[in-house]
Amino acid sequence: MTTITWQIDSMSVSSQPISGESEVVLTAEWRCVGEDGDYSSSIYGICSFPEPSTGGQFTPYAQLTQEQVLGWCYANGVNKSEIETNVTQAVNTLANPPVIQPKLPWITTLQAPI
């Protein structure tokens, strides 16, 4: 069974106030990793966020959690379900490749390739 893990790798923040707030997160770089035993695959992306409106909800940068920022990503175009499906399929393909290259039937283990 594939274990899925989401993480935020980095965020870009404004060095100038936006809508009266400082350190506004502009983008987040995210990664979805799938692992099953010896096999793993990941999908990586960047998500942009709209500017906070004056008087709207705002969380100071130092108080942000990874879960909160991932929630922003999902709300701003990152299709969590589709990405997890794609990562799981990639792991399954690695574990059970649809095409293999077995040894040639006329080569014995004592023969070295030319």
Q: Does residue 110 surpass a pLDDT of 70?
A: no
Mean pLDDT of the chain: 92
d(CA 109, CA 33): 38
Report the pLDDT averaged over residues 60-85: 97
Q: Does residue 32 surpass a pLDDT of 90?
A: yes
Reference 34, options 9, 6, 8; nearest CA is: 6
Q: Does residue 109 surpass a pLDDT of 80?
A: no
Q: How many residues does the chain have?
A: 114
Q: Does residue 73 surpass a pLDDT of 80?
A: yes
* pLDDT attached to residue 2: 95
* pLDDT attached to residue 58: 87
